[in-house]
Chain A
Amino acid sequence: MSRRKRMMEDLDQDIRDFIERETHDNIDRGMPPEEARYAALRKFGNVARVKEDTWEVWSFVWLEQLWQDVRFAIRMLAKNPGFTAVAVLTLALGIGANSAVFTVVDAVALRPLPVFRPDRLMQLYVKSPQGVEPYSSYPDYDDIRRQVRSFSGVAAYYHSTRFLNSLDESSEVLIDAVSPDYFAVLGVKPLLGRTFSRELDSGAQSETGVVISYRLWQSRLAGDPAIIGKEIKLTGETAKVIGVAPPHFQGAEPLVPSDLWLLIGRAVEFNHAYPAGRSNREFKTVARLSDDAKVDQARSELDTFGHRLAIAYPQTNRATTFQIVPETKRQGRMLPISLLLMAVVGLVLLIACANVAGLLLARAEGRRRELAVRAALGAGRQRLARQALTEGLLLSTLGGAVGFALTYWLMSFQRALMPPALAFLGPDMRMDLREVVFAASVTLAATLLSTLTSVFHAWRVGLAGGLKGEEMTLVHRGHRLTARNLMVAGQIALSVIMMTSSLLFFRSLYRARNQPVGFDTRKNLVGLSLHGLAGSRLRPQQFLPILAERAAGLPGVKRTVYAFRFPLSGAGSGMSAPVSIPGYQLPEGQSEISINLNAVSPGYFQTVGTRILEGREFTSADGPDSQSVVVISNTMARRFWPNGDAVGKFIKFGNENTLIVGVAEDAKIEDTRELPVPYMYLPYSQINFGQGVVIVEADTALAPVISSLRREFHRFSQGMVIAHVDTVQSLIEHSTYDLMLEFRLIGILSLLGVFLALVGLYGVVAFVVGSRTREIGIRLALGAGPGQVKGVFLLRGLRLVLAGVCVGLLVALAAGRLVARFLYGIKPYDPLSLAMAVGAVTVAALLACYLPARRAAKVDPIVTLRYE
């Protein structure tokens, strides 16, 4: 700047000097001084112009013009605060919704695991006659680790939960019980202390050391720098912290973020039933490819190895092979639903941009004269178009900033999006450079989308140039509104599509929640799931009946029973047992089939309302020493005893003959949407478990009963904790949580989209009314009634609405197949959903047209005709 200033001062002096010299020359040629000076000035020409041209040599012209444009745009926006606020807010909603959804999608489907070379990590799957599952047995894992050369390391783990600081129910943490080489295989170095190692952590003498996540360390242990070596209390035991994992590392699965790791051998449940058997498949297994191994090579080696195991252990491994799926591919499973969400939120952005484009265009129409004046004064059309673009950029940058801030704020509520009992389960949603880059790109796209029409408009005005007088034509056909009309019809179409999809999800949710589940959902049932029973002096078989009996005496309690698990209480909390059925030929020469089971107390079926179809339910006579008995599900009875004579037959657990005493109706086990499968109930007294749930039927409001149950339990507890308190209603909600989340997200987004579309529609009709005020005045003066005038504009709006609705309906029908896989119990062309969406959008749209139309009818003809 200073150099330029100095040069310009020099120039002043130089020009004066030049003119003086020229004057002198002229005097020398014999001119009179006065005339000589005049001639010199005339020869020099326009001093200001010369200065300006020279000034331009020293300036970055485009930068200065940009700065001028920005200042001009700021002035224009500040002059119309209403317009600016609406446009910025619209864009903020559009961009904010996009970056929020992207943050979620990034966390669950896109962001690579924070481990060393995630592309070299393989998840192991076991393919057996029962299907393909991500669980293998510990001995199989150990053999693969030792013998398969294509892997440089293999780790096993399983998910579980613990309670930190015991009795406090809110502090449930998700943990991974892991093999010693877990951290080495993932390539994760500790932030503090150490992780596990085979040398230090094998052998019976090793202590119960745990590695904690950075998140847990910061949130629950106050980031204590001297945490290493300190003891923390986990459900029923104390554990020493040996290491802190690096920030953002939460285990091998982003959807199941772990906060604490302990060794498999140290996990309490294994002190009781160490799952050494090859039939016990419950370990997830992750392998790292050797540096020189290819995926195909590892596949074929693993295949051969699987066959060898199948020959060596025919009892457990018959027809069983292993498969690997690259970690990066496994993550891609969340991609379809992610894409659906991104598509919906993209529609919202499109609608928002169309709105802003409409607003800008309406204003540009109003500024036609100003643009023409500027064009006449020498502004090039490029300059005019650039001016329009600058204004759009400013608007969307403001909108983007507000939207991003909004998202950041919303993300602090991410835990609230999870079901209450799973609040500790939130994936690590964070906003870093990736999110900023995404928001910036969306903002840029929004700028282009929303300014395209007004830039084109400015270009055209610049081209036309002329300063035409104001349109005096009475019949204003509104050709110039074609772009806006198209946009509004498009918005209506998009709203219909979005509204339809959210209704489809709502109806799926309703279906999933209101279908027979095989127990009585009208009863006030509460389940207290207990953990750490193993630490108690009494065995659960002795303890649970006593607790149930005490609970039965509490006020408001009708009846109590107990069981191994509460129906619908989440995936993975079930148990299965291998069963052989005399007289039934299993496929592929299997001798046993694995069937899921529950263990229940006498009176269970009557209390939860699962009907016994044949035979009887358990009584107190079915004790530990009497004949072992079983109640089977209707599906199991029909599959294995198609003649309907299951009761009285025997099945075998190992060598033990067990008598079928009853057949119960099919009840949902984990999810209300599952199909019925064979299921068994055993008497709780005849089986040994470290887990249980006390089920209480209350006859009054649940809340006081739950709190008195808690008090009773704590008086009684011996190193145990209440893991969950569930009601039947809450469990049904949990099991359909994915549908509800999708319905809520898509529902909110589509409401947003409809709202924006209505604002756009209102804007168009209001603008038409505004620009035709004089015509309306004349019509009224000539005797048209207010109703007629209203009708003209309503009709105009109606045409747009109908066009939009028709297009929307067609697209919704065509696109239905895309969402079909996410729905439950209804077809994507569900007529009720479509009708409701069309109806709602049409009614709302007509209202949006009616408001400005009514204003048209109130025009005072005298005032409008006096104008100008």
Chain B
Amino acid sequence: MSTKEQRERLELLQGTLDLLILRTLLLGAAHGHAIAKAIEMRSEDVLQVEQGSLYPALHRLIKRGWISVQDGTSENNRRAKFYRLTARGRRQLEVETSKWDKLAGAIARILRPAETEGES
């Protein structure tokens, strides 16, 4: 059965998505659509946020107490749900960012020597 593999891939995506949401909200409160748009724009459309995972991720962050949700009024004067980074979320972002840096660095170090060995 392939469910196990799927789940692992999903897990990785979720973790990354969580980090990106937190980073986006560092700039200020935003509603769901704006968060998705911001991630897509800032990654120059490389990353497409799947709506299927955006909302579960948002709710997971709320449950962990890293972001909060409140009613607000948007730019065109419509009521909307605004997500805001909490103090705990801010700290978590720092932790997650440094973790990500380490992970990215490690993966890079593994990949680069492998290339050179292959050539020699």
Interface residues of A (CB under 8 A from B): 7, 10-11, 13-15, 17-18, 21-22, 25, 43-46, 49-51, 53-54, 56-58, 380
Contacts and interface: CB of A to CB of B under 8 A. Distances in A.
B91 interface: no
A50 B59 CA distance: 11
B16 interface: no
B51 A45 contact: yes
Nearest to B50: A45
A15 B3 contact: no
Given A57-B59, A58-B59, A50 B32 contact: no
Interface in B43-84: 50-53, 55-56, 59-60, 62-63, 69, 78, 80-81
Given A18-B51, A25-B37, A380-B3, 14 more contacts: A7-B62, A13-B81, A14-B55, A17-B32, A17-B80, A18-B36, A44-B51, A45-B50, A46-B52, A50-B55, A53-B53, A56-B56, A57-B63, A58-B59
A380 B4 CA distance: 11
Interface string B75-118: 00010110000000000000000000000000000000000000
A22 B59 contact: no
A10 B52 contact: no
Contact of A50 (B31, B36, B52, B63): B52
Contacts of A18: 31-33, 36, 51
A17 B31 contact: yes
A61 to B, nearest CB: 13
Contact of A53 (B37, B52, B63, B78): B52
A58 B50 contact: no
A64 B81 CA distance: 29
Interface residues of B, number: 21
Contacts of A10: 69, 81
Contacts of A7: 59, 62
B34 to A, nearest CB: 8
A22 B37 CA distance: 10
A11 B80 CA distance: 11
A138 to B, nearest CB: 77
Q: Chain A binding site: helix, strand, loop or mixed by DSSP?
A: helix
A11 B31 CA distance: 12
Given A17-B31, A22-B33, A50 B51 contact: yes
Contacts of B63: 57-58
B51 A43 contact: yes
A385 to B, nearest CB: 14
A379 to B, nearest CB: 12
B52 A49 contact: yes
A51 B52 CA distance: 9
Contacts of A51: 55
B55 A53 contact: yes
B53 to A, nearest CB: 8
A17 B33 CA distance: 8
A22 B33 CA distance: 8
Given A13-B81, A380-B3, A21 B33 contact: yes
29 contacts: A7-B59, A7-B62, A11-B55, A11-B59, A14-B31, A14-B55, A14-B80, A15-B55, A17-B32, A17-B81, A18-B31, A18-B32, A18-B51, A21-B31, A21-B33, A22-B33, A25-B37, A43-B51, A44-B51, A45-B50, A45-B51, A49-B52, A50-B55, A51-B55, A53-B52, A53-B53, A56-B56, A58-B63, A380-B1
Contacts of A25: 37
A45 B54 CA distance: 12
Contact of B60 (A14, A22, A57): A57
A54 B62 CA distance: 11
B50 A54 contact: no
A162 to B, nearest CB: 72
A468 B89 CA distance: 53
Contacts of A43: 51
B81 to A, nearest CB: 5
A11 B63 CA distance: 14
A45 B52 contact: yes
Contacts of B78: 17
Contacts of A56: 56
A200 B55 CA distance: 83
Contacts of A14: 31-32, 55, 80-81
A718 B60 CA distance: 91
A14 B36 CA distance: 13
Contacts of A46: 52
A335 B34 CA distance: 76
Contacts of A21: 31, 33
Contacts of B56: 50, 53-54, 56-57
